[in-house]
Structure 1
Amino acid sequence: MLIREAAADDWPGIWPFWHRTVAAGETYTWDQDTTEEAARSLWMDPPKRVYVAEDADGAVVGSAYLVPNYGGPAAGIANAGFMVDPDHAGRGTGRALAEHVLSEAKAQGYRGMVFNAVVETNPAVRLWTSLGFTVLATVPQAYEHPRHGLVGLHVMYKAL
């Protein structure tokens, strides 16, 4: 699997699974009806550094972004977002993207990474904890999950 920095022309490969994932309403706090133009801005606009994972045929099967979570004197803490095409789930793409982005964050001088809102029922919670993230807090009943009802949102952190 190739993981590389994204180019502007990667967006058409990202949008279908971005839209599918967000529209499902199970893992992201973005509006389920986000337009393609707004989605592109949310995912691709600076100061985000965006990465894509390609399968053996060169198709984009996952993407991630890396960005400072805060500004000023707290800009040494990163934030990131990750998405894998649901049709390619369970094949190690998420882990490979996560390891790549964590390595990039450290190389870029970040001291830690925080996730501000991880839906507690998201299967990726297991991935994040296996990579050394801890749950700092959970905001109870903060997310209206379409299958599970009101669930919590985790704030997760890892020192780099």
Structure 2
Amino acid sequence: MKTHIVIAFALFLSIAPSANELSWVDTQVEAIKPARKGMNDSELTNIKDPFIFFGKRTKQKYTKSKKKTVMHSITKKSTTSSDSTSIIILHQPSKPLILSAIINNSALINGEWYKINESVDSFKLSSISRTNVVLTKGNGKLVLTTSDTKRNLKFK
């Protein structure tokens, strides 16, 4: 008989704190029940980018284009008879392709998001896995990876 009373008392002591914990959860749920107002578009455009990129990044925005990048430079040539202006068109060399992030079926390469079968410089993005991206050009294959070979990571 004593064991039944001890077991019943122990069961009662274990249930009593649970009721207090559940009441605390109920008050927390009631606190978040009211509808919350979202942000409008103008507020969203003023927010700082939440993503952190390690390594050097430029402030310039990259544009995706099917054409070659052309840089125009105007120089003045001085001649004895009159000043003349000539336009020199320089083809910008291809920048190294840097894979910064992979999310679902999209890859962030050189600051621009690409999906499978899209053109990246002169390559075609053929596959995206969890840690790398495969670019093809003719019979050639280029693999970009997100894994860092450096062992010393520094977080800011």
TM-score, normalization by structure 1:
0.26
Q: Which has the higher helix share?
A: 1
TM-score, normalization by structure 2:
0.26
Larger Rg: 2
